[in-house]
Structure 1
Amino acid sequence: MTLKIIAFILLNLCFLVQVNAHIGSAGIVQEGKAGKYQIQVYVEPPDVIPGVARVSVSVDGTDIESVKLSPIYYWTGDEGSPKEDEALPVAGEPGRYEGNIWLMETGAASVKVRISGNRGAGETLIPIAALATAKRDLPESLGWILGGLALLLVGIMTTIVGASNSDSLLKPGETGGQGFKRRKVVGSTIGLSFCGLLLFVGNSWWGSISKEYQQNYIYKPYTATTKIKVENARRVLSFQIDSNSVQGRWTSFLIPDHGKLMHLFLVRQGTLDAFAHLHPSRKDTLTFEAPLPDLPAGKYLVYADILRFHGLQYTIADTVEIPALRVTQESYEKQNSDTDDTYVINNPINRKTPGVADAGISICGSPGVKTVLKDGTSIIWEEKPGQVLRAGQVNNLNFAVISPDGKPAELQTYLGMMGHAVVLKDDGSVYIHLHPNGTFSSTAQQVMEKRISESTNPGYRVTSARQFRDSVDNLLLNLQAMPETQKDKLLMGGMTHNMSSHHGGSVNFPYVFPTPGNYRIWLQVKRNGKIITGAFDAKVI
């Protein structure tokens, strides 16, 4: 039994996956600065806690003395962080370092990377979710081995108890009679019964531990019910988080990410030819609503990103059937107060002809092939034509935006970033909302940085759910009422993303495709006060 428990624990420390504001992606990429060092960090958090996170760090230059890693947990802060572990250089790859760190606590956390060299010291934080998302089964071969060892131990125990009740009572040279044989049988029977009782109690105890782990420690995602209401010749999306999925993670404690409480994406299932990026308003603790633009009818995949006050991101997935109803742009703008909501119609994935009749359709691009949008703007995915991408490695998705006159477009910030991208696999199993700094939330990074600067646990400050929710709603109202330039300046103020990731109309997104297959990427940037969206298809092997 002891061997089985030890084996189970060891197995639970060996497998890696990630839960964050995405679905199906393997890890977290950050690209930017740590002091005077240009870095790119890739983290694979474990899917069991305690567990080991793998960290890969790429640093520019040859003057690096050391790269050190440590985990920081929201509830304990920097003062509760364990001793740093050193990342070691990777042979044959100058400037690349790899290391492992243990994550011992569940919840919001981050990986701190500290670099020392001739340019001084530099640090950066990568927010991660330290959550148990898997339960490992014992391999069949190991089960047979442990079962055999258990039978051997039972046999030895039975023999010892039987002998202690018979043979051990004889003096040297004596032989026991029939009575001693009966005593031996009785002793062995008692020993076997005792071993059976131990196995029964141990199995019951282990079953209760496994059940408790499944119920209390395995991460359970939020679920939601999405409906379309038709009111006064308009369609309104209602997104209600299921109360039975909340389980203590009160949605009153949501905070804005890039100035919005929720980023909701709609993609027509199967064809991926209709896409919308909406920001529903909160009606109550669990319900969010947004008017629908002129999307064609059909079944849609729904992905909603939210962020809780301690920096944990969540993606809530659902599907919804959108009924047919023609909506003019004028009527949509009248009913929708959020000017950052956008939508686009493209050709179906893997087809170059439109699936619906719409003058505003733009044909998707591909690596190295220019895509022209309806306002005359062009976007080029700066890869070789026909380039095939590989899963499991960091890809820099570089896009060049060109204005109608053929010159590099002058890009403006959109929700505090120089660009946004959504990556979706054709079967819906992979989804992620990207930014130029990587696959994490800058707001979550700010939350962790603020927590590190505090000497006491901030938990006591958020005891009133209503007060917290009302303060966030008031902040959002004030933000929505601001002029665009003032709002962008405020959102940009706290962002620490790499401003060098865009230049001359270019924008870059680091990303690791988790599995092979067909993907569609929607790129969103802003120029001349308008949000424009380009779509690109990619084959990943």
Structure 2
Amino acid sequence: MNTGLRITAFAAALAATFGTAYGVGRVVDPVVADAPPAPHEKHADEPSADAGGDGGHESEPAGGLQISENGYTLDLATPHVTAGRRAELRFTVRDDQGKAVTAFKREHDKELHLIVASRDLTTYRHLHPTRAADGTWSTPVDLPRAGGYRVFADFTPAKKGAESLTLGADLAAGGTYRPATPPAPDRTASADGYQVELAGTLNPGKAGELKLKVSRDGRPVTDLQPYLGAYGHLVALRSGDLAYLHVHPNGEPGDGRTKPGPEISFTATAPSGGTYRLFLDFRHEGKVHTAAFTVRAGSAPAGRESAPAATEGHGDGHGH
């Protein structure tokens, strides 16, 4: 067999091998690798791949972009699950010696806050995992759609001098992937019969106040219940790379100044310009509800009509 024929035969065999492997994968419901966000129109204020939106650099470090930081690593033992099926998510925080961390500082009523969000930011879970004596954390999770997700662990080690960290790791949910696009920016959102209105702007490199007003059936809700040490818990994620913003509540229940609604106030700083998703968790009548907003850093909230409840909110493992 001459050289040309040998190469042709080898290529044919290689193609047949990969074709067979693909077919088998389809039969056993393949795990979908981390997929990029659904294509969307590029906005002038969105960060580019190699620079932040504020003068070409990020004005404040964002969390969740690294799996390891300051000597600590998020060891995700469950890197993939199957969409639509309940699974046990397990992970460990390890120190620079590879040992499991077993002592954490309690913040907002928890030793560790766990967030799971889809790459397209249309599915969001705020989970409350439990820690075993050996340092292994676990929580049930049920993700509704196939695709790429990001797991965020927000914590502060109890070690003297340790700083608060947010580490991130990729999670894949197997199944048939269907791209989704977050709703357009809007100042109002609906959640389980509640309406939440957003006031204020998210500013790149500058702290600003965000106020969220909760109402139901057109009436202000004035008896919100404490949740994670405040009347609301707000998470902000940047579209594209899912940078995690640290958002701080203004006031707390019982301080003599903070009212239980209808407004909940937070202070936040965007690390750059761009499009962000805000997820507000609040408790009323014994249940936690999640309202989601799409905003652009540096721009006033737009729109007046309530946005559809497009974000998949709390799932299994969210203890109240």
Give the TM-score range, shorter chain: 0.5 to 0.7
**How far 1:503 sits from its partner (Å)?**
5.4
- In 2, Cα distance between equivalents of 1:229 and 1:284: 25
- Please point out which of 106, 110, 113 is paired with 1:260: 110
Letter in 2 for 1:379: V
The equivalent of 2:165 in structure 1 is 314
1:370 maps onto 2:188 in alignment:
yes
- In 2, Cα distance between equivalents of 1:320 and 1:405: 39
Seen in structure 2, the aligned counterparts of structure 1 residues 391 and 283 have a Cα distance that, compared at 3 Å, is same
- In 1, Cα distance between equivalents of 2:126 and 2:256: 24
The equivalent of 2:88 in structure 1 is 236
1:381 maps onto 2:231 in alignment:
no
The equivalent of 2:126 in structure 1 is 277
Seen in structure 2, the aligned counterparts of structure 1 residues 398 and 509 have a Cα distance that, compared at 3 Å, is same
8 Å contact from structure 2 (residues 202, 268) kept in 1: no
Letter in 2 for 1:431: Y
| Deviation per residue, 1:457-497 (Å, 9 max, x gap) | xxxxxxxxxxxxxxxxxxxxxxxxxxxxxxxxxxx68xxxx
1:402 maps onto 2:215 in alignment:
yes
1:348 maps onto 2:166 in alignment:
no
**How far 1:256 sits from its partner (Å)?**
2.9
The equivalent of 2:268 in structure 1 is 511
- In 2, Cα distance between equivalents of 1:285 and 1:428: 32
More helix by share: 1
8 Å contact from structure 2 (residues 59, 272) kept in 1: no
8 Å contact from structure 2 (residues 114, 151) kept in 1: yes
8 Å contact from structure 2 (residues 146, 174) kept in 1: yes
1:295 maps onto 2:147 in alignment:
no
8 Å contact from structure 1 (residues 226, 320) kept in 2: no
- In 1, Cα distance between equivalents of 2:102 and 2:218: 48
The equivalent of 1:450 in structure 2 is none
**How far 1:301 sits from its partner (Å)?**
0.8
Letter in 1 for 2:188: K
**Structural mapping, 1:136-215, within 5 Å:** none
In our comparison, the structure showing a higher alpha carbon Rg is 1
Q: Secondary structure at the match of 2:219?
A: coil
Seen in structure 2, the aligned counterparts of structure 1 residues 319 and 511 have a Cα distance that, compared at 3 Å, is same
Q: Percent identity?
A: 25
**How far 1:246 sits from its partner (Å)?**
3.1
The equivalent of 2:25 in structure 1 is none
Seen in structure 2, the aligned counterparts of structure 1 residues 535 and 508 have a Cα distance that, compared at 3 Å, is same
8 Å contact from structure 1 (residues 264, 279) kept in 2: yes
1:219 maps onto 2:73 in alignment:
no
- In 1, Cα distance between equivalents of 2:168 and 2:239: 15
- In 2, Cα distance between equivalents of 1:523 and 1:411: 13
8 Å contact from structure 1 (residues 419, 435) kept in 2: no
Seen in structure 2, the aligned counterparts of structure 1 residues 249 and 306 have a Cα distance that, compared at 3 Å, is farther
8 Å contact from structure 2 (residues 64, 167) kept in 1: no
| Deviation per residue, 1:41-93 (Å, 9 max, x gap) | xxxxxxxxxxxxxxxxxxxxxxxxxxxxxxxxxxxxxxxxxxxxxxxxxxxxx
- Please point out which of 243, 246, 262 is paired with 1:430: 243
The equivalent of 1:84 in structure 2 is none
Seen in structure 2, the aligned counterparts of structure 1 residues 421 and 221 have a Cα distance that, compared at 3 Å, is same
Letter in 1 for 2:240: D
Seen in structure 2, the aligned counterparts of structure 1 residues 16 and 301 have a Cα distance that, compared at 3 Å, is closer
**How far 1:502 sits from its partner (Å)?**
4.6
Seen in structure 2, the aligned counterparts of structure 1 residues 248 and 235 have a Cα distance that, compared at 3 Å, is closer
8 Å contact from structure 1 (residues 420, 433) kept in 2: no
- In 1, Cα distance between equivalents of 2:171 and 2:75: 11
- In 1, Cα distance between equivalents of 2:181 and 2:77: 24
CA RMSD after TM alignment? 3.4
- In 2, Cα distance between equivalents of 1:19 and 1:253: 25
**How far 1:405 sits from its partner (Å)?**
4.5
Seen in structure 2, the aligned counterparts of structure 1 residues 253 and 506 have a Cα distance that, compared at 3 Å, is same
Q: Secondary structure at the match of 1:296?
A: coil
Gap regions ≥5 residues in structure 1: 1-14, 25-132, 134-217, 326-346, 353-364, 443-491
8 Å contact from structure 1 (residues 372, 378) kept in 2: yes
- In 1, Cα distance between equivalents of 2:146 and 2:260: 39
Higher relative contact order (CA 8 A, sep 6+): 2
TM-score, normalised via structure 1 length: 0.38
| Deviation per residue, 1:149-173 (Å, 9 max, x gap) | xxxxxxxxxxxxxxxxxxxxxxxxx
- In 1, Cα distance between equivalents of 2:174 and 2:194: 31
| Deviation per residue, 1:389-423 (Å, 9 max, x gap) | 53111210011000225233421101221110001
The equivalent of 1:529 in structure 2 is 286
Letter in 2 for 1:255: K
Higher mean C-alpha displacement, 428-437 vs 408-417: 428-437
Q: Secondary structure at the match of 2:153?
A: strand
| Deviation per residue, 1:303-335 (Å, 9 max, x gap) | 10122224632212101112359xxxxxxxxxx
- In 2, Cα distance between equivalents of 1:518 and 1:317: 19
Seen in structure 2, the aligned counterparts of structure 1 residues 285 and 437 have a Cα distance that, compared at 3 Å, is farther
Seen in structure 2, the aligned counterparts of structure 1 residues 249 and 16 have a Cα distance that, compared at 3 Å, is farther
- In 1, Cα distance between equivalents of 2:195 and 2:135: 40
**How far 1:514 sits from its partner (Å)?**
1.6
Q: How many residues align?
A: 232
8 Å contact from structure 2 (residues 279, 292) kept in 1: yes
